[in-house]
Structure 1
């Protein structure tokens, strides 16, 4: 990678590092990906083992996804939402992760218009009323009271995360989930205090982050998964996103931003890159929905070519203009790319798909800097969220092939 030779080396990827009040054993984070292991909305032994394996494999921190802050904040009914009933299982999970030497982070969020209203049994909230292609129903325009309730729910969920033994929380401010949908000029056509100007559209995201910070102070680290670009016409662009990031920095509400892109509602493959697994997605649904996905799925699941560090070209602008610690996500699968991120001034790297096929990847990279992920970027893992997120290319119990 030519950029690496021209850039001075950065901090040691594998040395301990601080994230707010938290000390991590290295700078590698398991990014949040819905695990599909909470069939009744509560922690299972399978979910604990999923994160224990990644922790034992050497990451500095693993992120539990997706911990909805309320019942209507789930993307669908099988997801975990933070409430007292969930605490015993979560304590077992954080204990297992800590025993394996890693820190544990809970991703907090409200799905907003991305929620499947039919599955949840409650209308999906959005900035306004529009048709949700995921739930096949129209969203309900959130009232000011709804937004105040959701903001308080984030603070309550953060407190529960502390009680459950988590070392950090990650606030979901991306992918057109609720807070992100308010940032989008395409989705947010409101004329009240939450719409119109960028400052108004950012009111919900900033308010949620401040509420979480005020609740937990410096007891745990507070990060955010933050969308740089929606990847859809008329959506949030990098210029506006960068200004919102500056405001979050000025507010002092987060210890770091994990930079992401794309819209789960309108263009999910903009984040994932690589093959679009339309047939696999179709196979996860019964007819006639299966046939419809096969015929029209490529309109929603678009093909974007994969390359290492594919979000770096956008993330560089954030690194150049912010003092806030930044976590680089997207196409992080080998040591050379991780070292490039360090050299470019990023504080941490995050990966997800690479650890599905090989939870021991970080340990292998530690032992041999030439080691790399066996992930082929086919994205066939994406439809497995309905039956337990996994790499379908690597057989259970069989060691992953080594490149």
Structure 2
């Protein structure tokens, strides 16, 4: 059997069961990316639906949406989509129908930003405790107010309502965003969560919030609807969520019944999920969190996804063959080549290269959040029925960012 045949018949396209009633047609997993395609009423646009139709035709087995907010008073970005009891499901049904073509799984990522909401969107953000973000970020983010227990309970219910409505709209699963420093991640971190009630202190108490979210969702959607979570391997900051904490949370969530775990890491203060401070050994294997995944796989039996850094069929094959992961998470490469999964499945030697992005002026790159907005602009091109432009200059991207968002372009953006 040739190596290409091996890819096609054994590894990447092999179906993986998520629940007894649900499976992905292959092991390629499109991880969440910020799309910025919500309208003035926080509804998904026709362009967003078209983007996911293109990705569905591109061969990826499981697509996860960019983060959909569960509370329209708590946004992470100005053009977020929100799904709550006020949302019109008609637009969400169009999105789900587009993204489930070609036997594709489409899961909605559900999120609450907590304190990671910029000043121009939230003058008084909420969080587990009134702990500000790092000093370097305080010019863009206000110090949060500690949530009351009533607010915590109401937020848990909002996650459940959003999940039930996603199922009603035709999405085939949901993913809780428990990584990257957003609200669920803040509750898990002893640095950000300094509460002295049942929601803070011990790890058992700190994980109570995410466990209650899971149970509330499960009660609404039933046993056969898949629920996953994106979880940090660690926060990579002093006094934060540790690797040992992460392992214990994963094991607990598996016992609770969660169906799939996606591994990531970092937050706004230490953006490891963006490839910051990558070791040479990591570069060689491509994936950012593969070593952690190998440890986690010894403890878990549910499907595990590693996202971040994969660029070649061979590295993906190696990660799957070593059983370090069950699915390959891909994000940015799909922004420049929405047909990437079909190419990976057809050619074991296929590689994708992403060019470094910089105007040469670091302060300008930072203000424009170039490593996020450049990719968002590729998604907008696809959404409008055009081809992405991998050769778009950094300068053009920055100018479009400032022209399109005005003063908001200078605010800190989601990672």
Instruction: Report the TM range for the smaller structure's normalisation.
Output: 0.7 to 0.9
How far does residue 55 in structure 1 lie from its aligned partner after superposition? Answer: 1.2
Matching residue of 1:250:
255
How far does residue 136 in structure 1 lie from its aligned partner after superposition? Answer: 2.9
- Distance in 2, matches of 1:138 and 1:173, equals 21
- Distance in 2, matches of 1:337 and 1:303, equals 16
Deviations 1:314-342 (A, max 9, x none): 22111112222211111122211211221
How far does residue 156 in structure 1 lie from its aligned partner after superposition? Answer: 0.5
Q: Is the 8 A contact 2:56 2:102 kept in 1?
A: yes
How far does residue 263 in structure 1 lie from its aligned partner after superposition? Answer: 0.6
Q: Is the 8 A contact 1:159 1:216 kept in 2?
A: yes
How far does residue 172 in structure 1 lie from its aligned partner after superposition? Answer: 0.7
Label 1:93 to 1:243 Cα distance change in 2 as closer, same or farther (>3 A): same
Matching residue of 1:287:
none
Label 1:386 to 1:86 Cα distance change in 2 as closer, same or farther (>3 A): farther
Label 1:74 to 1:388 Cα distance change in 2 as closer, same or farther (>3 A): farther
* Structure 2 length-normalised TM: 0.80
- Distance in 2, matches of 1:59 and 1:191, equals 44
How far does residue 399 in structure 1 lie from its aligned partner after superposition? Answer: 7.4
1:380-399 aligned within 5 A: 380-384=370-374, 389=379, 397=387
- 1:272 lines up with 2:277 in the alignment: no
Matching residue of 1:166:
171
User: Is the partner of 1:153 in helix, strand or coil?
Assistant: helix
What root-mean-square deviation, in Å, do the aligned CA atoms of Structure 1 and Structure 2 show? 2.5
How far does residue 70 in structure 1 lie from its aligned partner after superposition? Answer: 1.1
How far does residue 221 in structure 1 lie from its aligned partner after superposition? Answer: 1.0
Matching residue of 2:22:
22
Label 1:262 to 1:310 Cα distance change in 2 as closer, same or farther (>3 A): same
- Distance in 1, matches of 2:302 and 2:388, equals 41
Gaps of 5+ in 1: 1-9, 275-301
How far does residue 378 in structure 1 lie from its aligned partner after superposition? Answer: 4.1
How far does residue 85 in structure 1 lie from its aligned partner after superposition? Answer: 2.6
- Distance in 2, matches of 1:164 and 1:111, equals 23
- Distance in 2, matches of 1:385 and 1:82, equals 24
Deviations 1:36-83 (A, max 9, x none): 111422111211122111111110021111111111332134211103
- Distance in 2, matches of 1:193 and 1:115, equals 25
User: Is the partner of 2:100 in helix, strand or coil?
Assistant: helix
- 1:329 lines up with 2:307 in the alignment: yes
Count of aligned residue pairs for this structure pair: 358
Matching residue of 2:34:
34
User: Is the partner of 1:321 in helix, strand or coil?
Assistant: coil
Label 1:157 to 1:398 Cα distance change in 2 as closer, same or farther (>3 A): closer
How far does residue 163 in structure 1 lie from its aligned partner after superposition? Answer: 0.9
Matching residue of 1:97:
99
User: Is the partner of 2:66 in helix, strand or coil?
Assistant: strand
Q: Is the 8 A contact 1:356 1:391 kept in 2?
A: no
Matching residue of 1:353:
332
- Distance in 2, matches of 1:397 and 1:80, equals 24
Matching residue of 1:211:
216
- Distance in 1, matches of 2:26 and 2:192, equals 38
Label 1:340 to 1:86 Cα distance change in 2 as closer, same or farther (>3 A): farther
How far does residue 123 in structure 1 lie from its aligned partner after superposition? Answer: 2.4
- Distance in 1, matches of 2:290 and 2:315, equals 10
- Distance in 2, matches of 1:363 and 1:208, equals 35
Q: Is the 8 A contact 1:381 1:390 kept in 2?
A: no
Q: Is the 8 A contact 1:174 1:261 kept in 2?
A: yes
- Distance in 2, matches of 1:384 and 1:304, equals 25
User: Is the partner of 2:241 in helix, strand or coil?
Assistant: coil
- 1:339 lines up with 2:317 in the alignment: yes
Matching residue of 1:55:
56
Label 1:214 to 1:340 Cα distance change in 2 as closer, same or farther (>3 A): farther
How far does residue 202 in structure 1 lie from its aligned partner after superposition? Answer: 0.8
* Structure 1 length-normalised TM: 0.82
User: Is the partner of 2:314 in helix, strand or coil?
Assistant: helix
User: Is the partner of 1:75 in helix, strand or coil?
Assistant: coil
- Distance in 1, matches of 2:52 and 2:390, equals 18
User: Is the partner of 1:327 in helix, strand or coil?
Assistant: strand
- 1:232 lines up with 2:240 in the alignment: no
User: Is the partner of 2:52 in helix, strand or coil?
Assistant: helix
**Greater Cα offset, 352-361 or 381-390:** 381-390
Matching residue of 1:299:
none
How far does residue 385 in structure 1 lie from its aligned partner after superposition? Answer: 6.9
